[in-house]
Amino acid sequence: MRIIARRTLREYVEQLDGDKGQPAVKAALDAWFDEVSKANWTSSSDVKRLYATASVVSAQRIVFNIKGNDHRLVAAVDFEVSAR
């Protein structure tokens, strides 16, 4: 899976600077990024196998719970492009 906006994740973590939970959020987002970058999903069912708590809100949008649902990440997913 190709992630096109890692900068958005970095900026989110940076805006938490000074928050005692920032290191845990950074670790959770880094882990999410690493897992998703390696994923070869072809459908939302594939996503749900790895992320059972993710919510499929449309054919192209998935909401991931980050750090025990303390944070939510809404992702646009194009399974046709990622399958190539």
Distance (Å, whole) CA 71 – CA 55: 13
| Tokens 């449309």, located at residue | 58
Q: How many CB atoms lie within 10 A of CB 62?
A: 20
pTM value is 0.85
Domain spans of the chain, in order of start: 5-76
| Tokens 């899976």, located at residue | 1
Question: 34-83, pLDDT tens digit by residue?
Answer: 999 999 999 999 999 999 999 999 988 999 999 989 999 999 998 887 55
